A and B are shown apart, each in its own frame.
Chain A
Amino acid sequence: MSQTKTATETDAFVALALQEIKHYLRHPLFLVGTLLTIVMCVIGPNKVTSSLFHVIVPATAVGVFGLLVMISLVRRSDRAHEAAGTVTTTERTRTLALATSVVVPFTVGLAFFAWAVWAYHDSPPAPSGIPFGDIGDGWAYALLFSLGTLSCAGGPILGLVIGRWLPFRGAGAVSAVLLIMVTIVMQGLIEPLRFIRVVMPWTYFGGPLGIEDDPNRSLIMTGSPGWYCAYLIALCALGVLVAVLHDREQPRTGILRALGVVGVFAVVFCALAMTTGVQETMVNPVHSTVP
């Protein structure tokens, strides 16, 4: 009996996951966001910064748009479940199926990463850009992966959490605006917040932040983008667990334990992202006006 129930639940999960993947693929906001990312790639890398600042496009057009896409998929899933009348699948199964659909934006993020790494080597940053000094290509790859690729998965997962826990109309739009606002404040432009900024799910690691006699001079900020990747992956896992936790009709002890373990990992990774790598803001010795 128990085996039959598990098999039915697994079958339902596979069918629902495939369905949610199709829904995600067909969502207009996802299609528009992907198109914008493709257009940006076609336009090509920047002469000074190469592909390093292009991360803002997939982060916004696939990540933030993805937050809104996922909330609409959650509402759609709930409406379909209510319309079905009988309890055919648990909320947990439906949540996990929705989480599986994140594979769609993540694939776009991976494709962006491949393009960005190629562009970074094909058209390297100018000497006045970033990275410079002892900072190598690994730093740039980690930056591109964390800000350009993981953000494509992180946005929709946050949307899943919001969709499950905040059921009111407009919750997605308000959450997206709040997320962007806090992210901009914590992107390293405000000096006192620079060291702790890696607690945010999206932040810059360098750029033309300027110094006193050169307002566009390139700087590299504190922190390790490599550990930041690990931190973001832990945040994504936490997000899925928090979304799954919403189903009160299923046993939650295991989920709570997993939340505790992943939470500890997230704190450790965040501390490592903050306290390893570059530990003092580095100033590019080359003036920003040098081509």
Chain B
Amino acid sequence: MIRHATQAVPWRLLGLVAVLLPLLLRTVEEWPYTMWPLQGIAVGLLAGTTAWAFDEPAAALVDTLPRDLAWRTAARSGAVLLLVACWLLTVHWTRDAYFGHAVAVAVQGCAAVLATSAYVTWLRHRGRATPAGVVGPGVVAGAAFVALARPFADVLPVFPYTAMDAWSQSTTLWVALGVLSLGVLAGSLRGVGRPLRG
């Protein structure tokens, strides 16, 4: 499993993101009131990178292996867990940046990773070998837009801002997304998926 992960995961990208995440959140800690959008963008980058970790560009070869989707997903999950560990450590390191809501920020990252993992695994279950080409940029772009433009922030507090914002409502939304994603992930990993195509 480790050998599979060594070959299959885009480690260079993960390494780059592991450097970028502390840089983004440390910048937020330095200027929390002005650099706040970077927190949401960091969540998007974490989730987008997760999508690339599950891509299977060598689909023709993968289909000949006696390993099912669950095994291959488990093998790649180690890399994603490392990324999540990096996220949690970084949030802990920069905990003064979040107006007393570091736990909520940590939850955002974990739920976003779960949601992306579930979505790309469902796509792989349906035969898409490399869903990250669309999902990765889509997640990063979506998070960047929500963090910068803050559309409908009053009713949908995706990335709350300052101590007075609706943090508990936001955390409820993220936890609900995480739980829903777990269900989708479990459903996708059961049974035999369609043959992979590029």
Chains A and B belong together in one complex: yes
A residues with a Cβ closer than 8 A to B are 28-29, 33, 36, 40, 56-57, 60-61, 64-65, 68, 71-72, 75, 168-170, 172-174, 176-178, 180-181, 184-185, 189-190
CA–CA, A28 to B137, complex, Å? 11
Given contacts A174-B13, A174-B20, contact A180 B141 (CB under 8 A): no
Q: Which 8 A-B pairs have the closest CB atoms?
A: A68-B137, A189-B34, A173-B140, A170-B13, A173-B48, A65-B141, A177-B45, A170-B52
A209 closest partner in B (C-beta): B34
Given contacts A60-B144, A168-B12, contact A184 B136 (CB under 8 A): no
Is chain A's interface secondary structure helix, strand, loop, or mixed overall? Answer: helix
A-B contact pairs, 20 of them (CB 8 A): A60-B144, A61-B149, A68-B140, A168-B10, A168-B12, A170-B52, A170-B136, A173-B45, A173-B49, A174-B13, A174-B45, A176-B144, A177-B20, A177-B24, A177-B44, A177-B144, A181-B24, A181-B27, A181-B41, A185-B27
A36-B145, A61-B149, A169-B132 given; name 15 further pairs at CB < 8 Å. A33-B145, A40-B149, A56-B149, A64-B141, A68-B140, A72-B137, A176-B141, A177-B20, A177-B44, A177-B45, A177-B140, A178-B20, A180-B37, A184-B37, A190-B31
User: Which of B20, B35, B137 counts the most A-chain CB atoms under 10 A from its CB?
Assistant: B137
CA–CA, A36 to B142, complex, Å? 11
CA–CA, A33 to B141, complex, Å? 9
Given contacts A61-B145, A168-B12, A177-B24, contact A75 B140 (CB under 8 A): no
Interface size on B, residues (CB 8 A): 35
Among A57, A172, A184, A185, point to the contact of B137 (Cβ < 8 A): A172
CA–CA, A267 to B12, complex, Å? 34
Given contacts A29-B138, A75-B133, contact A60 B149 (CB under 8 A): yes
B residues with a Cβ closer than 8 A to A are 10, 12-13, 16-17, 20, 23-24, 27, 31, 34-35, 37-38, 41-42, 44-45, 48-49, 52, 55, 132-134, 136-138, 140-141, 144-145, 148-149, 151
Q: Min CB distance, B36 to chain A, in Å? A: 9
Among B12, B38, B42, point to the contact of A184 (Cβ < 8 A): B38
User: Which of A57, A60, A71, A75 counts the most B-chain CB atoms under 10 A from its CB?
Assistant: A60
A60 in contact with B137 (CB, 8 Å): no
CA–CA, A71 to B138, complex, Å? 12
B35 in contact with A72 (CB, 8 Å): no
CA–CA, A72 to B141, complex, Å? 13
Chain B residues closer than 8 Å to A180, beta-carbon distance: 37-38, 41, 144, 148
Chain B residues closer than 8 Å to A65, beta-carbon distance: 141, 145
Q: Min CB distance, A154 to chain B, in Å? A: 16
Among A64, A168, A185, A190, point to the contact of B144 (Cβ < 8 A): A64
Chain A residues closer than 8 Å to B132, beta-carbon distance: 169-170
CA–CA, A172 to B132, complex, Å? 12
Chain B residues closer than 8 Å to A71, beta-carbon distance: 137
Among B10, B141, B148, point to the contact of A169 (Cβ < 8 A): B10
B137 in contact with A29 (CB, 8 Å): yes
Chain B residues closer than 8 Å to A170, beta-carbon distance: 10, 13, 16-17, 48-49, 52, 132, 136
